[in-house]
Structure 1
Amino acid sequence: MLCYWGARVIEGFGLVQPDQVKHGHSGIRSMWPTSKVQDMSAGRSFLGFIQDGKVSVLRLRSEDCDCHLETLDNDGIRRIVCGGDGAVLLSDSGKVLFMDKPTVCKPLKSLDNRQVIQIACGDHHSMALTNDGQLFVWGENSHGQLGLKKDHPTSLSAQHVQSLSGIPVAQISAGGDHSFVLSLSGVVFGWGKNSAGQLGLGDTTDRHVPTLVKSLHWKKTVSISCGGEHTATLSKGGTVFTFGSGCHGQLGHKSFKDEHHPRVVAELWGSKVSHVTCGRHHTLVSVASSKLIYSFGCEIQGHLGNGELTTQSVSFPVDLPNECNDEYTIDKLIAGENHSFALFVKELESKAKSNPGSGVLTLNDRIIDRWLSGTDAWAIIKQEINTVFSSAASVNGSFLKTSWDNHYQTSEEHCGLDFDLVKTSFAKLSENKSLISEVVKVVQQALLPSLNANPTGVESLRVYLLLPELIRHLKKQKIELTEALASKILQLEPDACKVLEKYWSKLPDDWLKSLMKLFHKESAELIGQVSCGEMGYDLTRRLKKFLQILQMINQVCCSANRDIANRDFIIHEIHDLLVTLETTLRTVVLWILWAAFNDDWEDTLKLGDHCFKTITILVKFPFAVDTVSKQRIFSYLEWELLVSFPDPDKMASHGNILHINRESVLTDTLKYLRQQTHSFRNPLQVVFIGENGVDMRGLSAEFFSLISESFLKCERKVLEVHESSLVWFNPDNTKDTRDFYYLGVICGMALFNDLYINIDFSLALYKKLLQLSPTLNDLEELSPLEARTLKSLLEEDEEEVVDMFSFDFTVKGKKLIPNGDQIPVTKANRQKYVDLYVDFVFNKSVKKQFKHFSEGFSTGCPLDAWSIFHPEELQELLQGSPEYDWKELQQCASYERCSASDELIKNFWTVFFELSEENKKKFLMFLYGTYRVPLGGFSKRPLKISLLDCGDAKDRSPEAQTCFDRLILPKYSDINTLRDKLIHAITYCKVFGRA
């Protein structure tokens, strides 16, 4: 049954005889066509019907009501949409035809190779959606209604809206000069004319590209309808939102004002509306449960259907004939310019009716089962695979979590995917070699190349979550697909990349671990290939990409506190790479020494060079390298720097030798450095004036210990020792800033020469060097009392107690913010105060000091590869390990001309373990020139004890060959003599290696 009302038209439309039209209340007519109406549409000029796949078009001439019926002999038409100037038709095979004259119907050739599933028509533009989720537009672009960017010309051929290529579109709609699409997850995009706010964006500025309507987020939008200059949306629960022009009351808000944001039609609240459609100046809604139709807007020609001929800004029910409430239900509502139509079908027909082929083809468990069953021909399956896996829109619309409408919550925090369904579906798909092979081919050749670096909407990013799970199940072409995926992720614009990282941070544990393992495994395999002698730019290029993705995942795990340990990111194959490099270097050195080159000479050099290039890549990804390997990498790069960039001029003039007096270490050193003759790229050589020692690291080690103490005791007070015994820059020393520069130079030189400083800097210093921000925990390490007070301030629940702290925004009289002394710290602003306090201590108060120190550090250590270390590792490299495992010192000791079972050695260890902690450290200073423990413990610098069998042992003191880590121990006759001599040696040692 068809009901219609509004401006005068020819009785029966030629579908029935005029006398078969029944006239009801309020000008509503009803009729029963002899042939079922499959679809119909009303525009400004035409009214179209589809019956048995054939189209009938009626020209509407409002000026004289002269209606003329035309029939088009086009079989297989299933959809018609009438616009302002003409109509667009859709055939059963997915072909699009357009009609601008009642008797002329032409195919739209630019869409010949596409299977279209939806069409829409505005006043002067049209839209078509294909089964793979691609949106095409054509017509006028006066207000940007084509969505093809500003100044794009009018187009008579269909143009692809590329910005929406990744959005799984559920519905398209075209208004007068504006356009909308709705995604499967209820996300709404609008563009085009916005003079009355019909885009719902809060303003009246036209948009030339699809723009997200943020105010409709999470409203569970299921349909959209565009009018002349207004828009209506329907939510899943039946709530109607309208926005745009309200001058005719068409928004239903009890007013005639325009609305620039979507607003609920309050009069319909609780009605559970099932359908909404917009005409040019009026709106119709239907409620399936009550079989009622409501209307509001312009009523001048009776197109509201309630007997009134005035505009109405609130909804009133349409006076439907009594037959509509019996065995019929509403199938379709059509609101034209001056007409309204309601198509009714019988209840049984409505339940049986479906609309196949109107949605984008997406992947689900049912389709995969059908593919696996083999019931369809292979050609059909291949076509479906191509449709789904060549389109980002189709992939992004697959496997949505529909339980509890979860996918409607899609946002930057929620991706809307059903992870369990994805996992089981891809596992099944991978079992069939033919299917998975075809999928891989399509993904590699079509999907990945099509991905947009700047996608519109967060739904476009689901593909980056789905593809790793698909790749994980592959056995072939895994590395190629992984590389292609990595390339696309790295090409993403920063905003899109941030959203993807948020999605990663919310992944289930097993998914996040699988993602990490995918790129970890591929990185490890590439490093392993280099270790085995394979070379080529392609290897290092791939490795860099994989490591970049792995770094992103590592940062996500750290910031989100995910349960993946840092050690899981370490690539142990790096050890093999370093072994290969070491072997190669040793071979090259031997060839040079022996002048015995063979046919493998050039290949070996190339392998060494390739290993070095691989190592320089690893420097940028410290999370993947264990501490020991980092030290080795740093050492190799030091060696390469020395070999590749020697400084013979400076070496020749002074030999890179520092001559100093023990009594004036700091003065002599600064004088030497100011001469600017030192080559920082070469090892330091130290000579203590008046002493015969030759520097083979031992003298240099002692030098750095002595100059560290000099800086701590410096009268200019460069450093401050806090109550924690840790050291920080003196914020009050702002005049002698060059002292901080030279302090940095000394620290950099110590690092470059693999030696230690005896200054216990706070970990915050190393964070700052690595461009990381110190935190309240760092302040607690440096100044426990200060930090505990601040923590108490943050933890206090009572506002009154917070006020009792009587803090303002100052630190030691320094204002943290303008007028800080006038602003009290309250419960509301205390976090800001604490953050500013920490920033002041570690940054603002020592800005100049740190700047000069950092510059000096980079000068003293010309190899910037120290950035490979974590702050804790860099701290231990420069200051030594804080752990003193004395048992380890004993266990790692070796012996010359004696053994661990000798009485003398037993007595030595007995005496050693009797020593106080301070004297044990003095022993280290005596033996090594520093009391700092190497990173990795005493095993990295083991003690050697050499027996001196002489007749005058009782007159001799122990001696230390510092350069060789050797203790020369006379053969004392008893333990007491040994004790006295050892304590005297470590206490009164002033000259290198002697008491």
Structure 2
Amino acid sequence: MLCFWGAQVREGFELVKPDQVKHGKCGLRSLCPRTAVQDMSAGRSFAGFIQDGKVSVLRLRSEDYDHDGKLKQLQLKNKIRLIVCGGDGAVLLANGGKVLIMDKSTVCKPLKGLENRQVIQIACGDHHSVALTNDGQVFVWGENSHGQLGSRKDHPGSPSAQHVQSLSGVPLAQISAGGDHSFVLSLSGVVFGWGKNSAGQLGLGDTTDRHVPTVVNSLNQKKTVSISCGGEHTATLSKGGTVFTFGSGGCGQLGHKSFRDEHHPRVVAELWGSEVSQVTCGRHHTLVSVTSSKLIYSFGCGMQGQLGNGEMIKQSVPFPVDLPTECNHDYTIEKIIAGENHSFALFFKELESKGISNPSRGVLTLNDRMIDRWLSGTDPWATIKQEINTVFSSAASLNGSFLKTSCDDHYQTSEDHCCLDFDLVKSSFAKLSGNKSLISEVVKVVQQTLLPSLNPNPVGVESLRVYLLLPELIIRLKKQKTELTEALASKILQLDPDSHKVLEKYWSKLPDDWLNSLVELFHNASAELIEQISCDEMDCDLTRRLKKFLKILQMIYQVCCSANRDIPNRDFIIHEIGDLLDTLQATLEKLFWPVLGFPVSDDWEDMVKLKDYCFETINILVKFPFVADTVSKKKMFCYLQVLFQSLPDPHRIILNGNVLHINRESVLTDTLKYLRQKTHAFRYPLQVTFIGENGVDMRGLSAEFFFLLSQSLVKWEKKVLEIHESSLVWFNPDGMQANRDFYYLGVICGMALYNHHYINIDFPLALFKKLLQQSPTLNDLEELSPVEARTLKSLLEEDEDEVVDMFGFDFTVKGEKLIPNGDQIRVTKANRQKYVDLYVDFVFNKSVKKQFEHFSRGFFKGCPLDAWSMFHPEELQELLHGSPKYEWKELQQCASYEKCSASDELIKNFWTVFFELSEENKKKFLIFLYGTDRVPVGGFSKRSLKILLLECPDADDRLPEAQTCFGRLILPKYSDTNTLRDKLIHVINFCKVFGRA
């Protein structure tokens, strides 16, 4: 049954004879054609009806025509399932998904631009139209006077369908078109609008037209299920029946008890609790229906009777339409239609199947049931391939797949929630990857169509779900994994900054197994390429691809760090880097053969290329320090030094051969005097000679030099450094008069690092964070000043306001104001975090700003190779201080022997005596043997120890000797253990001159 009310039309629309039209109250009429009306639409110029797939149209009264025309059946080859009338014509949708355009003379033509597309929804405005395809793509055509086509501002309009590319990744549920504006609705209830906005009909809070789809943020998470556009107003319906309206209200069409325009969506309060099931907007009026109570409400312009209340008025509040009594008993409301001056309601008997009148179909999405159907083999392979192509070629289809619909969770989609059902995705992809034919077809479509189509500037967060789904699919592949991973990495890196931030936030909230899989995917791809490079596969494309993988891995690593995810750092370490360094070492050795007198190798040129290629790779890896362990990074630093020192240096002036001549008694004074001469070439290794002593510096002398220099620097305590309660040292805040000293302290520390030696000054970790441009925290203050930090932590942990007040703090530290008038601002529970943050900042930054600036400037001078920045703060601290772990057993295990063996009695006695020594004496032994008591990064195994047995007749009269540069201990063959013990203790405590003890 069809009910209608409003302006006069040809009686019964010629769908029935005039005497078969029933007249009800308030101008309502109803009719029941012999052939049921499956769908209908009414616009400004036409009303159209579909009966048994055939279309009939009737011209309505308008300014151009004084009388309505006769009902005319369109002669079409295709069966039509949907008609939408607009301003001057109509759009028809055939059963096969083809679109036809009817102009004002009722001539129908196929729409160009949608060939090979299956359209599932259509919408019409006054001068433009919109179509939605089964793979979720939006197409528009017509005029673009106000940006209603969603294209660029200067787009002139188009008679053929144009793709709205910015929406290509959004999984859509519905489209709608009004006078000169357009809307779409996503499966998660996100609303996008564009076009004319003169009355605020886009709901964006202003009256500025939009030329591209824009999210209506105020409707986010309102569970919107449908949208309808009027002439210059819009209505949305939320799950549960809440209606929002916005835009032009001059005729009362917003239902807000006023005739004002609304620029933001506003609830129609009069309908609150009515559980509205449908809403539709006409040009100046609005209809809503409540299926459960079989009521239709109307509001807005009723000057032609289109409100169905028997009055020719403008009504600003919803009022029920007086429907025929049979509507309340035998029929249910299936569809309501609001035109310009007309209103319609299509009723079906309750026993008839629903949905015939509203044949809109949803976008095709992937789900577990579909995969099961593919696996069952009941459908022809051609049908399965077509479905695979539709789903996996469309980001919109994939983004609308596997949504977490339980408890309406998918309506919570935001920057914090992607709303995917991860368990369902995992199980479904596992099934899919288990079938070779299916997964092969999927891979082909993803590689050839989906990945190339991804938009680098997606609209809406829903477009980013595909970047979560694809890694889970790719990691299950056996073939083409690296190729697809690279293509995915390229697309992620092309995303705009805002999309990057959202994707990273999604990553931060992934389940543990998903996040682990993501790390594994890009880690393995990186490792594979590094392994290929290590195996002499010289291809510049490998390094280009490697950069992509490492950049993605870096993004994930930073996400894990900032979100405190429990992914250990070792999961990011690429052990194949060790193979690369071994390849470089072997290559450098071969290239060095001619220097040793060996003939030039036949593959010399290839060796040079491989060397350069390895260095190129290392230069890449330096920028991604989290993928290498400390030992590998130290090796890379050494190799880059070799390269750095081999480069041409036009400023190289070494007047004294970079040799520092120094007295043991005046090591600090001599060092400063040497540095102030500005003759040292920091790029090249430092050589040290102790005045009055024999010996060539082969690292032993310079190691001892830095050890002695560290002891001398203690004299700078009061002027430059101050010792805290933790025994750690920090810059003296009152040491501003010692600017040059801070600078030279930095130079000395930088030189030690660059020359691979240790400085025995106990700086806190905060210093190394600052050098790496990281911010120290309260935990760093706890390391430096435990008492201060514990007080601040107690302040933060206190629950009672009164107790916080009892601390009696204001915004000062040691008399210094942390903020303007800080001495007059008390620390309260509300501002205590700010106080603590400022306190930590004051200690580590503000109070020593100039001191640190001078120190860091000197550090950069002393260590001119900036590759040191690849180290983590803890690693940099260890490189400068040495390892804090003294694994003495490891020292014994790494020892080698000359003219003796580990089983000799003397050697057994030596180790017995050694392990009996106090911790202090063990460290003194290290100083005697190596010139420093620091443990190298990686432990004692990274340092050579060779014990040479010396057989001589006067062995008991001799002392042990140390060849410091080579880590060699010359041990006389003592007659007994006591003699060995006495001689060893004596030599480590009293022999401080380089050479023979």
Task: Compute the TM-score of the two structures, normalised by the length of structure 1.
Answer: 0.96
**Which 5+ residue runs of structure 1 have no aligned equivalent?**
none
Structure 1 Cα separation of the partners of residues 295 and 402 of structure 2 = 36
State the shift of 1:134 in Å: 1.4
Structure 2 Cα separation of the partners of residues 515 and 357 of structure 1 = 38
- Where do 1:465-864 residues align within 5 Å? 465-645=468-648, 649-651=652-654, 653-714=655-716, 717-864=719-866
Change (3 A) 1:143 1:750: same
Deviation digits for residues 842-883 of structure 1, max 9, x if unmatched? Answer: 222222222222222222222222222221111111100112
Structure 2 Cα separation of the partners of residues 899 and 133 of structure 1 = 77
Aligned to 2:229: 226
Aligned to 1:47: 47
Structure 1 Cα separation of the partners of residues 211 and 786 of structure 2 = 58
Structure 1 range deviating more: 817-826 or 889-898: 889-898
Aligned to 1:291: 294
Letter in 2 for 1:90: L
**Conserved 8 A contact 2:451-2:488:** yes
State the shift of 1:981 in Å: 4.0
Q: Work out the number of aligned pairs and report it.
A: 994
Deviation digits for residues 784-815 of structure 1, max 9, x if unmatched? Answer: 11111110010000011111111122222222
1:360 aligns with 2:363: yes
Secondary structure of 1:659 counterpart: strand
**Conserved 8 A contact 2:334-2:354:** no
Match of 1:447 among 423, 445, 450: 450
**Conserved 8 A contact 1:958-1:967:** yes
Aligned to 2:20: 20
Secondary structure of 1:109 counterpart: coil
Aligned to 1:992: 994
Structure 1 Cα separation of the partners of residues 628 and 255 of structure 2 = 65
**Conserved 8 A contact 1:43-1:337:** yes
Secondary structure of 1:738 counterpart: helix
1:82 aligns with 2:116: no
Change (3 A) 1:909 1:378: closer
Structure 1 Cα separation of the partners of residues 948 and 62 of structure 2 = 116
Structure 2 Cα separation of the partners of residues 341 and 877 of structure 1 = 82
1:165 aligns with 2:174: no
Deviation digits for residues 415-442 of structure 1, max 9, x if unmatched? Answer: 1212222222222222333332222222
- Where do 1:309-458 residues align within 5 Å? 309-351=312-354, 353=356, 358-458=361-461
Aligned to 2:60: 60
1:265 aligns with 2:272: no
Structure 1 range deviating more: 932-941 or 918-927: 918-927
Structure 1 range deviating more: 771-780 or 845-854: 845-854
Secondary structure of 1:306 counterpart: coil
- Where do 1:842-991 residues align within 5 Å? 842-900=844-902, 904-952=906-954, 956-973=958-975, 975=977, 977-991=979-993
Structure 2 Cα separation of the partners of residues 904 and 598 of structure 1 = 46
Letter in 2 for 1:609: D
Change (3 A) 1:973 1:378: closer
1:95 aligns with 2:98: yes
**Conserved 8 A contact 2:38-2:356:** no
**Conserved 8 A contact 1:647-1:681:** no
Letter in 1 for 2:57: V
**Conserved 8 A contact 1:125-1:137:** yes
- Where do 1:156-195 residues align within 5 Å? 156-195=159-198
**Conserved 8 A contact 1:646-1:682:** no
**Conserved 8 A contact 2:717-2:723:** no
CA RMSD of aligned residues (A): 2.2
Change (3 A) 1:592 1:36: farther
Letter in 1 for 2:69: H
Change (3 A) 1:207 1:656: same
**Conserved 8 A contact 1:464-1:489:** yes
Secondary structure of 1:348 counterpart: coil
Structure 1 Cα separation of the partners of residues 991 and 595 of structure 2 = 43
Aligned to 1:2: 2
Aligned to 2:120: 117
Secondary structure of 1:447 counterpart: helix
Structure 1 Cα separation of the partners of residues 688 and 542 of structure 2 = 44
State the shift of 1:550 in Å: 1.6
Structure 1 range deviating more: 100-109 or 329-338: 100-109
State the shift of 1:727 in Å: 1.6
Structure 2 Cα separation of the partners of residues 312 and 129 of structure 1 = 34
Letter in 2 for 1:3: C
Secondary structure of 1:111 counterpart: coil
State the shift of 1:914 in Å: 4.2
Aligned to 1:464: 467
Letter in 2 for 1:535: M
**Conserved 8 A contact 1:40-1:48:** yes
Match of 2:145 among 116, 133, 142: 142
State the shift of 1:893 in Å: 3.4
State the shift of 1:3 in Å: 0.6
Structure 2 Cα separation of the partners of residues 368 and 914 of structure 1 = 71
Structure 1 range deviating more: 511-520 or 895-904: 895-904
Letter in 2 for 1:34: R
Give percent identity, aligned residues only. Answer: 80
Deviation digits for residues 333-388 of structure 1, max 9, x if unmatched? Answer: 01111211101011122447486662222222232233333343333333322222
**Conserved 8 A contact 1:717-1:730:** yes
**Conserved 8 A contact 1:647-1:679:** no
Secondary structure of 1:297 counterpart: strand
**Conserved 8 A contact 1:8-1:65:** no
Structure 1 range deviating more: 640-649 or 516-525: 640-649
Structure 1 Cα separation of the partners of residues 575 and 638 of structure 2 = 18
Structure 1 Cα separation of the partners of residues 912 and 118 of structure 2 = 90
**Conserved 8 A contact 1:746-1:860:** yes
**Which 5+ residue runs of structure 2 have no aligned equivalent?**
none
**Conserved 8 A contact 2:739-2:851:** yes
Letter in 1 for 2:757: L
Structure 2 Cα separation of the partners of residues 984 and 478 of structure 1 = 65
State the shift of 1:920 in Å: 2.8
Letter in 2 for 1:241: F
**Conserved 8 A contact 2:694-2:995:** no
State the shift of 1:898 in Å: 4.6
Secondary structure of 1:285 counterpart: strand
Change (3 A) 1:237 1:706: same
State the shift of 1:887 in Å: 3.2
Deviation digits for residues 54-90 of structure 1, max 9, x if unmatched? Answer: 2222222256862112332124122111122222222
State the shift of 1:954 in Å: 5.5
1:204 aligns with 2:207: yes
State the shift of 1:118 in Å: 1.2
Change (3 A) 1:474 1:975: closer
**Conserved 8 A contact 1:143-1:177:** yes
Structure 2 Cα separation of the partners of residues 697 and 647 of structure 1 = 27
Deviation digits for residues 952-975 of structure 1, max 9, x if unmatched? Answer: 556544332211223334455555
State the shift of 1:599 in Å: 3.0
